[in-house]
Amino acid sequence: MPKTDETLIRFSSPSERLNSTDTIELVKKIQSSPSLKTLQVHNHAISNRAIHILAAALSSFETLDLFEPYLNNSGVSVLARALNTNTSLQTLKLRRDKISYRGACALTEALKTNHSLKKLNLYGNQLDDPAADALAQALTVNNTLTTLNFCENKIGDTGASALASALKVNRTLIKLNLAENSIGDEGVEAVVNALEVNTSLKILILDGMKISDKGLAALADMLCKNKSLIDLRLKYVDVNTMGAEALAKALTENTSLKTLRFFGDELTTSTLSDEGAKALAQGLRTNRSLTTLEFNDISDVGARAFAEGIQDNTSLRILRLELSESSHDAISKETAEAFAAALRKNTTLTTLLLETGVVSNEVLQILYDALVENHTLTNFFIGSLKYNNWNEKFQSLLARNKQLQTKPSSVEGSVSSERPVSSERPVSPRHNTYSPAYFKNEPAATSSNASTSSSHPSCR
């Protein structure tokens, strides 16, 4: 049966099908309670009659989330017609609904006249270049949409170029997700060229793009000119020395970017060469805007370069690095000493995640001694820390620092090794099962959403 809370009604039992009778019941519940504004239907086929009922009642919703109901183009067209005159719906998620060109055209016409929808999520459909071109036309006239998610579709360079042309005139879109499409350097260059004139886009997600040094150079050139983008995500994108050097130069000139992510997952990573790491670390020394930086598949030498780079940085708050398996997952004594020097000197870093394999006692001792003198780090993770007797000691220091953040006048204080261990759930030495809750824009999956979340958090 449907589940409800104060603001949401969810139909997600795997044994049920959303038919017209179910839909009428759900609509009545929403209409009878002013606080119920969100309807989720996950992993259920929806009958044709049910779609028409939902469309007729669309004015009752602020959020409609349909995950794998297999609407197809005909079902989407029904909803799109209702959107033409709707003034209440603000978020529409049509994920894995087998939408292709015809459905995109229907949505395009709706977006041209609708003035309430702010977020449209089309993750995991069958949208190709012609579909992207159609939706791009809507972006040239729509002035309310702020978030558009095309993750895991079939858009190529031509479709990306069409969207880029729309970005040159659109002034309301804040977040654009093009992750996991078939876009290469040509499409990326078109998008970043548009951002040289666009001043509204704040978040650009290009995870999984087939970007070479040429594409990275175009991105870097854009960052030297753009003053509005604050979040750039390039997960699963390899960074060679030439691309890293271009990005490093951009870091020395850019004053707006706050988040840069190249972090992949267990199966697909973002490889960074040692020389590339050194170049980016050099850029960090003078950058004064970046607050979050994430890289994986780097060597011990690359990690050491970043440690040296953050010593003089005064803006970075979160640094997340994972050593590659080719470096045997180990942080050397020399790299530990570099991070120790950074912890003693840096006064802005609050989160340091060093995702490695088993860490030696010598390395842990070096880092612990540095943390004793550091008063700003409040979140720390390294290798096998959770599985040895060092955990309580580190957690005690982190707890002390958290208290200091709320009592800035108290910089002195004793550190007790008897403090309780953090209540965070256990994690493995590898990063694959570690999902820190403090990355608020990529929350850890919970029991209520784990089965319906995409394989990549940025696609949700």
Q: What is the pLDDT of residue 12?
A: 59
DSSP label at residue 422: P
C-alpha distance from residue 196 to each of 138, 255, 272 (Å): 21, 14, 27
Phi-psi region of 180 (alpha: psi -120 to 50; beta: other; left: phi over 0): left
Overall average pLDDT of the 170-189 stretch: 97
Return the CATH number at 423.
3.80.10.10
b/e per residue 113-145 (b: at least 16 CB within 10 A): ebeebebbbbbbbbbbbbbbbbbbbbbeebeeb
Over residues 124-136, the pLDDT tens digits come to 999 999 999 999 9
Global pTM reads: 0.87
| Assigned domain for 295 exists | yes
Domain span at residue 44?
1-70
Q: Which of 70, 96, 117 is the last residue of a domain?
A: 70
pLDDT at 241 over 80: yes
Percent of the chain with pLDDT over 90: 65
| Assigned domain for 162 exists | no
Please calculate the CA angle 179-180-182 and round it to the nearest 5 degrees: 110
Secondary structure of 218-230 as H, E, C letters: HHHHHHHHCCCCC
Q: Give me the number of domains the chain comprises.
A: 2
Q: Which of 124, 108, 105, 25 is nearest to 66 (CA)?
A: 124
pLDDT at 356 over 80: yes
Percent of the chain with pLDDT over 70: 83
Q: Which of 70, 104, 122 is the last residue of a domain?
A: 70
Please calculate the CA angle 111-116-120 and round it to the nearest 5 degrees: 55
- What is the spatial distance between Cα 94 and Cα 103, in angstroms, rounded to a whole number? 11
Query: Which is it for the CA torsion 371, 377, 379, 383, positive or negative?
Result: negative
| Assigned domain for 226 exists | no
Cβ pair 298, 323 in contact under 8 A? yes
Q: What is the pLDDT of residue 18?
A: 74
| Assigned domain for 98 exists | no
| Assigned domain for 301 exists | yes
Return the CATH number at 11.
3.30.750
Overall average pLDDT of the 73-94 stretch: 96
| Assigned domain for 407 exists | yes
- What is the spatial distance between Cα 238 and Cα 270, in angstroms, rounded to a whole number? 5
| Assigned domain for 83 exists | no
Overall average pLDDT of the 435-441 stretch: 39
- Look at 228-232, 269-273, 369-373, 444-448 and tell me which has the smallest mean pLDDT: 444-448
| Assigned domain for 33 exists | yes
Q: Which of 70, 89, 109 is the last residue of a domain?
A: 70
